[in-house]
Structure 1
């Protein structure tokens, strides 16, 4: 599905038979963003295989070109990035349009904080509503000058300065804020330290090591970590094979779990211990998920997943698991709608400030499809009897790709079809989603259901 039309493109999922076969989901979005950024400031040429070519990541590629990196896609799908070196970014000729990508926005804000020029940022209507204050605070503490709308919201301008290192404790667990600080530290003399009370995804730390930098990570007895980075180290080009995105694999894994008779293998999936919370949770609910060919690529744990249809039961998901699966909760809500018993999910404040208020948006969609639930300030409680919900809803996606795909998964196993109001937004993270899941046996079509 392409997004070259300005008009909404409704998409309908109809009750389907079992899914079967093998698939390779698009590359990990978090790693793809970082591969472009670090390749763009490293010395030499980095090749990247398996890069996610969704709209969000392509925004980062365009921005790195404006900063002076040579970023090209080869005919074989392998990207070549010749970096400009740490501290050698070029002033962009135009405003950086981040589209819908909060990851690109927050990471690039950190990257330019030490650059000796002013960078202007904008995005789409959804991104302009999202809070950037949690990134702005530490960057200003380091010395960057930022002008923005209230709450640090887009559009905004950052005038880079010679920064000073800081010792910063994250008030809220956020890999994006941590990464923004570490990117600002790249050209900052001295040691910058970030302390996190709850461990968040560590792709930035892994990639810094992969590009030859020294970074110190200290595990705390209370489960938190301290990350220290000495600025102005030279990064050296290093090739990357991007694993499949576990957040994208989550949709196919849930579909294969809830559709009777399904047997699907997903190859080359990133299984970083700070990103595998959904698969752990599904297995606790009774899902039959087998990990095959476990290995390491560019500092990341990777494996293949075989998922077979299972009978699920409700559980209480530990709130402390939320950082390892925060993006997967929408599709976990779908799995819980097919489980027998009560599934309680708390600690999800972060979902209120994603591409949409995902808690409220998911609650509205579940209600339209006949799912019994209680919406909490920080989560959902879903009660189900193990039989398929009625479905039949027309879901407002709020320009949120994860809401769109979650309700299409729901519609594959409900009693009646489920329609989303606009499928174009799926291109931001999972280009070709409809084609891939249909190739496994699903019934997803453009247009409204009957």
Structure 2
């Protein structure tokens, strides 16, 4: 029987403070890169969610020691820059595209054989755009369906990979990161140029680990260390709160009358703050407080209160900075005055589900005629009536959370397959219920 989560309408505004869980992208990378050192790295505010735990499982299978001190705190101890070892069984990336794509880059130059699998959703998602540049470096990687799907095997080459200059046709942090991680072990510097700058967590963290990384415009260059001792993990990493998780409360507080929230310790890396730019352009009342830097990543507390939003247009140039936030921005748009036009978002068709189609289908169930599906985007007609009903998350965590906010802001909603939130935000529904109870007091 399909699990259904009932979301009650917010009877009053959302108020109070929220501690945002750790950034998923940075949590993945902290475990991977710490596992290439030989000294313990203490990681705080780690996101204890299914995707990040997939990375933990893969790194353990490769010989890295990972000890949880508590749910969101752990120590990672590797066996040196060349200390990863051949896994005894197939590596399972679960539902995590980040685990799969970054680890392919990291394992491509290793002197041992490995095989990757994943869940049904991940097995349908294409990986060819990662394999193409790695193959150009000399990697030997073989997947299903013309090397475009899982499962795949990574075969040792018997020599170093070639440093390359790669002109990526897409602005993708996962593609870029896979090439940079492979470039750590290459025989010469490696460069990646993107059509637009994607999120730069990998570059920042590699720099913090002693690796020479340089940026010139839309290009990033990595210089492999000449000596293993140059790779120097820090003793401690504090993961900032995930702005992609904060986005649900930024939008909810903006569209639910009487709301006033303070979101604590949110990462505000400029390559991730497109959500703030678009919401502010829509007329949202959001301000940053207590700005600081931790481990090369900017953090701040975000204050947000209810506002009258209006429709906007945005496209490919900003998409790398907010691609994961399109479902929740669609919720803001449906509550705004006028039309919102989104283009350049074709990548959403190959996420956990076809998110463009899922948004148009599921929003249409509770607000007829509110969303038009484009080939690479959406047209959302704001202020159309929204009523209660049953919708399907399509097994997609970001769809589930966005639909929950839509339901809370409107007349309530019933969500099929809500457990997908465990991929990135296991405590989301608990937090939502806490806000609802606080607003009723």
TM range (shorter): over 0.9
Matched position secondary structure for 2:335: coil
Which residue pairs with 1:365 in the alignment?
Answer: 362
Whether 2:199 is the aligned partner of 1:214: answer no
* 2:170 match: 172
1:126 counterpart = 2:121: yes
The number of aligned residues is 431
Question: How far is the alpha carbon of 1:78 from its aligned partner?
Answer: 2.1
Give 1:401-420 correspondences, 5 Å limit. 401-414=397-410, 416-420=411-415
Q: CA deviation at 1:165?
A: 1.1
TM norm structure 1: 0.93
How big is each residue's C-alpha offset from its partner over 1:381-427, in whole Å with a ceiling of 9 and x where there is no partner? 11123x6x32323222221100011000000011x321111111100
Question: Does the 8 Å CA contact 1:217/1:228 hold for their aligned counterparts?
Answer: no
Q: Quick check: 1:86–1:187 contact (8 Å CA) kept in 2?
A: no
Q: Measure how far apart 1:265 and its partner are.
A: 0.6
Is 1:70 paired with 2:68? no
Query: What's the secondary structure of 1:399's corresponding residue?
Result: coil
For the residue of structure 2 that corresponds to 1:301, the secondary structure is strand
The alpha-carbon deviation at position 190 of structure 1 amounts to 1.4
Q: In structure 1, what is the equivalent of residue 239 of structure 2? A: 242
- Alignment map for 1:108-187 (pairs within 5 Å): 108-150=103-145, 151-161=147-157, 162=159, 163-187=161-185
Unmatched runs of 5 consecutive residues or more in structure 1:
1-6, 444-450
**Which deviates more from structure 2 when the two are superposed, residues 61-70 or residues 225-234?**
225-234
Instruction: Give deviations 1:46-73, integer Å, cap 9, x for gaps.
Output: 1100000000000101111111111111
Residue from 290, 295, 312 that aligns with 2:292: 295
- Tell me how far apart the structure 2 counterparts of residues 226 and 146 of structure 1 sit (CA, whole Å): 24
Distance in 2 (alpha carbons) for counterparts of 1:262 and 1:20: 5
Which residue matches 2:193?
A: 195
C-alpha separation in 2, matches of 1:171 and 1:88: 33
State which of 247, 257, 260 in structure 1 corresponds to 2:257: 260
Deviation at 1:76, TM superposition (A): 7.3
| Aligned: 1:11 with 2:8 | no
Greater length-normalized contact order (CA 8 Å, ≥ 6 residues apart): 1
Once the 2 structures are TM-superposed, how far is the Cα of residue 231 of structure 1 from its aligned partner?
Answer: 4.7
Distance between the aligned counterparts of 2:192 and 2:162, measured in 1?
14
Structure 1 position 351, deviation (Å): 0.5
Residue aligned with 2:288, SS:
strand
Alignment correspondent of 1:277: 274
Question: Does 2:89 align with 1:91?
Answer: no
Q: CA deviation at 1:39?
A: 0.3
For the aligned residue pairs, the C-alpha RMSD in angstroms reads 1.6
| Residue 55 to residue 284, structure 1, CA distance change in 2 (3 Å) | same
In 1, Cα distance between equivalents of 2:418 and 2:354: 18
Aligned residue for 2:266, secondary structure, equals: strand
Report the CA distance between 1:13 and its aligned residue: 1.3
- Whether contact under 8 Å (2:212, 2:222) holds in the other structure is no
Unaligned residue ranges in structure 2 (runs of 5+): none
Cα deviation, residue 164, structure 1: 1.4
SS at match of 1:212: coil
Provide the secondary structure at the position in 2 that maps to 1:441. Answer: helix
Tell me the equivalent position of 1:392: 388
Query: Does 1:337 find its partner at 2:334?
Result: yes
From 310, 320, 325, the equivalent of 1:328 is: 325
2:222 — aligned with what?
A: 228
